[in-house]
Chain A
């Protein structure tokens, strides 16, 4: 993107004189980059930028953590996870606390690492915490391809994978336009965004550099002023119309849609993914007969409302007092991509 187009985009943003609008980010990296690059400060008064449910850690409900803690403590399972999840509070304890008590919790950087670990340690039972959106789900499925090819039987997934389309529909009233998560669209393609336009849901697929972000906002504001539902792909460098058919095929091969709970949003029908019946040998819930968890969360925590854009992190009574990145109460403060953590780190 040329310097000129960035300047033009900045001018469009600065000169916006339309009605008050709400734009919702639904990607944790967007939340973080908009703070880091100072994009927020450039937006005019009339533009409300809301951080929606885009960070996989933040939307993962407490009972999922309870299940993982149960596996580590009651079943002696080696729980492999991305680092962000380790400090998320469950009802009684986080995985970090379970580890301090002697539970085996390993941080991995990809599901494949977890599968390799299982293969190298046949005496252990290994479970990978499979959270995330369409961007990370193919990786989890790929680890199952490998497990089945190599006959790794001590490896399974505890799934809490989510898909975005139903979430947009559930959040329709919360924002005038979405800043669609570029990396999710890189897998799913843009067909889903076109479908959403028909239902009156607008948005722009955005990239992650300063120029890509200001361009996306400029396009968004220009289209909002026209008053018609719209969709624009402002990240053509990476996002193609058809997305990644290989990635989508991989998901479809191993998983199917299910109802799932989003922290703060409740159960959204058809917004989750679970392993297909044929793959139940890799389903930790079935393999270890995990009992149903009834999660309890801190009553004052307003993460749920933050995720729906109904309040700002700083409106929460715990923000910066009882809840800080070092001692998080809610999930949005734990993950570096969470809205509360970003607000706290950047001193908003």
Chain B
């Protein structure tokens, strides 16, 4: 994209005229092109019978590019993973951009390319989009909203209300990496650590799990608020307790180090490529087996179980064998992480 090197987005690019058309062609159409993406006012799609999952999510992460990903990849993964959590196979996405006047065209190009790559990997088509340009200072860089739909296979029913005592709690990889990456990328702390975001599309992982067993009670992606917040939500929704075993929780050494320095709990740091899966105990081995073969889920582990006692609470068996309450989530840990 040689000619984009010096160019920047201007208010005219959002005016709906010739420049808007140029922007769409030079960047979005180039990357997102597919038979369902037309110049008409809306995409026209054929759907089979059955149940459809639909979700939408806005992305305002700062910085827009960070180790392991960028706002584009994040915007696809976020909505794809939300759909996957309902057991749905993501099919179509729409995306809306709000871009700050002066945003470098080259950077926008990289973000769009990253979106296209991620969408392709997740097997979804981007079928409609919108671009608005806001005056300098009215947004910070670029904000993206994606909306998606996916089809839920027969016999699959996951919900936060379905956790039952005796079920196992699985996480699909080490926790807290995205939150930690963003924290460090902002340079506020002057900590030099080798941490990359776990941002990844997980529809493939969900499909693999469902093919191993459709009998999965809950799937949640542990984004804002991290695994700890998700567990509290499930405990509340299902009216059960959750006990996790501190020793079996996968946490990257660098993330643990950063958390130690800053007094943060890795369980409350955001992930963007990790699922919390709750399933009957006798399915745990099958699930772990398929997860460990997956590209993004090789470090999956059983971290605890659902209990009858302490409903609505999350407890932790610590490394010295005593049981404590995981302090409930609260406050704003870090703004603008996704």
Q: Are A37 and B319 neighbours in the complex by a CB distance under 8 Å? A: yes
Task: Answer yes or no: B327 CB below 8 A from chain A CBs.
Answer: yes
Q: Are B188 and A109 neighbours in the complex by a CB distance under 8 Å? A: yes
- Chain B residues in 8 Å Cβ range of A236: none
- Complex: chain B residue closest to A37, CB-CB: B318
Task: Answer yes or no: B35 CB below 8 A from chain A CBs.
Answer: no
- Chain A residues in 8 Å Cβ range of B188: 109, 113
Task: Answer yes or no: A325 CB below 8 A from chain B CBs.
Answer: yes
In the assembly, what is the distance between CA of A39 and CA of B320, in Å?
Answer: 8
Total of A-B residue pairs, C-beta within 8 Å: 49
- Chain B residues in 8 Å Cβ range of A214: 320
Task: Answer yes or no: A248 CB below 8 A from chain B CBs.
Answer: no
- Chain A residues in 8 Å Cβ range of B331: 325-326
A125-153 near B? 1/0 per residue, CB < 8 Å: 00000000000000000000000000000
Q: Which of A38, A113, A210, A325 contacts B330 (CB 8 A)?
A: A325
Q: Are B189 and A109 neighbours in the complex by a CB distance under 8 Å? A: yes
Q: Which of A6, A41, A109 contacts B324 (CB 8 A)?
A: A41
Q: Are A6 and B325 neighbours in the complex by a CB distance under 8 Å? A: no
Q: Are B324 and A210 neighbours in the complex by a CB distance under 8 Å? A: no
Q: Which of A109, A210, A345 contacts B319 (CB 8 A)?
A: A210
Known: A38-B318, A42-B320, A109-B189. Is A347-B325 also a contact (CB below 8 A)?
A: yes
In the assembly, what is the distance between CA of A225 and CA of B142, in Å?
Answer: 66
Task: Answer yes or no: B323 CB below 8 A from chain A CBs.
Answer: yes
In the assembly, what is the distance between CA of A39 and CA of B319, in Å?
Answer: 10
- Chain A residues in 8 Å Cβ range of B322: 37-39, 41-42
- Chain A residues in 8 Å Cβ range of B325: 345-347
Number of interface residues of B (CB under 8 A): 18
Number of interface residues of A (CB under 8 A): 23
Q: Are B320 and A346 neighbours in the complex by a CB distance under 8 Å? A: no
In the assembly, what is the distance between CA of A41 and CA of B189, in Å?
Answer: 35
Q: Are B330 and A37 neighbours in the complex by a CB distance under 8 Å? A: no
In the assembly, what is the distance between CA of A346 and CA of B265, in Å?
Answer: 14
Task: Answer yes or no: B155 CB below 8 A from chain A CBs.
Answer: no
- Chain B residues in 8 Å Cβ range of A42: 320, 322
Task: Answer yes or no: A249 CB below 8 A from chain B CBs.
Answer: no
Task: Answer yes or no: B328 CB below 8 A from chain A CBs.
Answer: yes
Task: Answer yes or no: A250 CB below 8 A from chain B CBs.
Answer: no
- Complex: chain A residue closest to B317, CB-CB: A38
Q: Which of B190, B313, B318, B328 contacts A345 (CB 8 A)?
A: B328
B29-48 near A? 1/0 per residue, CB < 8 Å: 00000000000000000000
Query: Counting chain A CB atoms within 10 Å of each CB, which of B316, B322, B328 scores highest?
Result: B322
12 more A-B residue pairs beyond the given contacts A29-B263, A214-B320, A347-B325, with a C-beta to C-beta distance below 8 A: A35-B324, A38-B316, A38-B320, A38-B323, A41-B322, A41-B324, A326-B330, A345-B325, A345-B327, A345-B328, A346-B324, A346-B327
6 A-B contacts (beta carbon < 8 Å): A32-B263, A37-B318, A38-B316, A39-B322, A41-B322, A345-B328
